[in-house]
Structure 1
Amino acid sequence: MTTTDAIAGRPAPIPITDPDDPRIAVFRAVREKDLTGRHGFIAEGSVVLDQLALSRRFRPSALLVLDSRLAGITDRIARLPQDCPVYVASREVIDAIAGFPMHRGVLAHGIDMAAGLTAADVLSVARAGDPAAPILIALGIANHDNMGALFRNARAFGAGAVLMDEASCHPLYRKAVRVSVGTVLTEPWARGGTPIDLIEAAIAAGYEPLALDPKAEGSLGSLDPSRPRALVLGAEGPGLPRAVTDRIAGVRIAMRSDVDSLNVATSAAIVLARLYEARADLSRSVR
């Protein structure tokens, strides 16, 4: 197909030949936009675009595609809202727009249609879905890779939601969205508040908070999979605040004594996978 062909009844893609074209301003210098606030977000790559198309909370406002990639993603484009413009550019132009080499060749700009959701709002949605599913509470997670991986693990192992305190990085940073393979756009989440605020919100919603702490005495094998848990995770290095570990019970992952801890996303994956398997076994046993 050519850049002027319509896609599934949509308006034809719009060729962009000038990196300074005002129509693609939202895509310009996306690295700098990551540093200046959350005025929308960038979804990078076709897999992430799939999640954006599925999302109920987030909506694409524009799409920028490398001309050589257009023919291969027409089915994906057809699933986007009709009023979402599709811009097409050459490799030279698209790299100049983004400010770095765009290897994936697909950029979507999205907006949050439900900005300001609180922890209570999100937990209400989670309990209405699978009331026994665990949730994650992330405290002080500043690394974008870890944040994205937490969301990917949450979706893979059936977590109902992710809550983040105000000290955690925003999950809509471009790298976090990419590492999550777009699950940031489909997993329920809320960001804001203090660690104690989030723990109290989880308790009020019927979850039992449980600190993932290498110094804790509790073991994974002792967990009852039928009880909804809020798994509380801290940043690598400082770990969880003392105010948290003094307040709630903890569990540790068995490991060699010469290793003091695991990556936070890895720890979450181990515990979530254990609970997911145990819940599946429990479900089969009651049929």
Structure 2
Amino acid sequence: MVARLIHVEDPDDPRLAPYRDIREKDLVGRDGRFIAEGKVVLNVLLNGSRFEAESLLILENRLAGARPLLDAAPDGLPAYVAKAPVIDALAGFHVHRGVLGLGRRGPERTLEGELAHLPAEALVVVMAGVSNHDNVGAIFRNAAAFEADLVLLDETSSDPLYRKAIRVSVGATLKVPFVRGGSTKAITASLIGAGFRCLALSPSGGSDIAAIKPGGRNAIFLGSEGDGLAPSVMASMEAVRIGMSASFDSLNVAAASAIALHRLWRGAGQVSGPRPPPSGP
């Protein structure tokens, strides 16, 4: 497998149009596509992602370092190569990571369809009103680390395929199945109907997450920074907390998700084998 190199010198080249004005278009969508950036994330997109890569865009002076990506790409995948002024003018900001990729979203997944394919023992993460892209990305990274089967995001949560969320997740949003949309109430009803124990993570929870045993079907609900989960959401399920110092009130939602997911992880207590070196965003 090897990508097809195409050198471009004009930021107005129509072949590069999907990469134009990245920041602005990321906020409103780009016709069923998304932008991924950085070698770590693009390695995921090209190897094991749930999504199809459509093209790459590489800084000319980063071409040698991008060779492993080019070699791993599907045969004939367009890899556009340009100097920094061309890419910066196209993207609307300085692309310091040197390599971008265009992915295709594909058909939207449905909640009912995803739940129907989950195993008898399953772990689901639900985000309710999590609108910060960094938190969304970090929660996906934790979901991948602790083998969550599915991530659900209500209609008020941010898009996991927003460029920054993908980057912070180190590509986990490209691997972990997710469904975005619908109200928290509707999501809860579907999970209960599918036999899930729904757990609302909150500092005011009645029991400690350490008392919850892994196994079976568990869904952990995470709310936004500050407001947290709505009282109506917590009233419909079991509320749990993370024990911590009485002199401090809460954790960042992404940090809290890591603790809760580790507790609910079906692999907790198993002896781990060698791990690859950690990778950054």
Q: TM-score, normalised by structure 2?
A: 0.91
Alignment partners' CA distance in 1, 2:164 and 2:49: 21
Cα deviation, residue 132, structure 1: 2.4
Structure 2 counterpart of 1:257: 246
Cα deviation, residue 228, structure 1: 2.1
Alignment partners' CA distance in 2, 1:10 and 1:168: 35
Cα deviation, residue 166, structure 1: 0.3
Structure 1 counterpart of 2:14: 22
Question: 1:81 pairs with 67, 70, 74, which one?
Answer: 74
AA aligned opposite 2:88: D
Alignment partners' CA distance in 1, 2:14 and 2:57: 13
| Bigger proportion of residues as helix | 1
Question: 1:209 pairs with 198, 201, 204, which one?
Answer: 198
What does residue range 25-64 of structure 1 map to in structure 2 within 5 Å? 25-39=17-31, 40-55=33-48, 57-64=50-57
Is 1:169 aligned to residue 161 of structure 2?
no
Question: 2:268 pairs with 252, 255, 280, which one?
Answer: 280
Write out per-residue CA displacement over residues 92-140 of structure 1, whole angstroms, 9 at most, x where no aligned residue: 21111111111110100111122x2112222334x24xx4242100000
AA aligned opposite 1:281: G
Alignment partners' CA distance in 1, 2:43 and 2:22: 20
3-state SS of 1:135 partner = strand
AA aligned opposite 2:234: T
Structure 1 residue runs of 5 or longer lacking an equivalent are 1-7
Is 1:65 aligned to residue 58 of structure 2?
yes
Percent identity over paired residues: 45
**Maintained 8 Å contact 1:57/1:113:** no
Alignment partners' CA distance in 1, 2:139 and 2:2: 38
Write out per-residue CA displacement over residues 61-84 of structure 1, whole angstroms, 9 at most, x where no aligned residue: 111001122222222222222242
Cα deviation, residue 34, structure 1: 1.3
Structure 2 counterpart of 1:102: 95
Residue 80 and residue 118 in structure 1: after superposition, are their counterparts in 2 closer, same or farther (change >3 A)? same
3-state SS of 2:176 partner = coil
AA aligned opposite 1:77: L
Write out per-residue CA displacement over residues 146-201 of structure 1, whole angstroms, 9 at most, x where no aligned residue: 00001001001111110000011111111111111111011000000100111122
Alignment partners' CA distance in 2, 1:207 and 1:283: 27
Cα deviation, residue 10, structure 1: 4.5
Is 1:241 aligned to residue 230 of structure 2?
yes
3-state SS of 1:42 partner = strand
Structure 1 counterpart of 2:181: 192
Structure 2 residue runs of 5 or longer lacking an equivalent are 273-281
Structure 2 counterpart of 1:4: none
Cα deviation, residue 233, structure 1: 0.6
Alignment partners' CA distance in 1, 2:149 and 2:85: 42
Alignment partners' CA distance in 2, 1:87 and 1:258: 54
3-state SS of 2:100 partner = strand
AA aligned opposite 2:201: L
Question: 2:142 pairs with 129, 146, 153, which one?
Answer: 153
AA aligned opposite 1:107: L
3-state SS of 1:261 partner = coil
The number of aligned residues is 271
AA aligned opposite 1:221: A
Alignment partners' CA distance in 2, 1:74 and 1:59: 19
Write out per-residue CA displacement over residues 18-52 of structure 1, whole angstroms, 9 at most, x where no aligned residue: 11111101111101111222531100011111111
**Maintained 8 Å contact 1:226/1:279:** no
Alignment partners' CA distance in 1, 2:97 and 2:187: 37
**Maintained 8 Å contact 2:3/2:70:** no
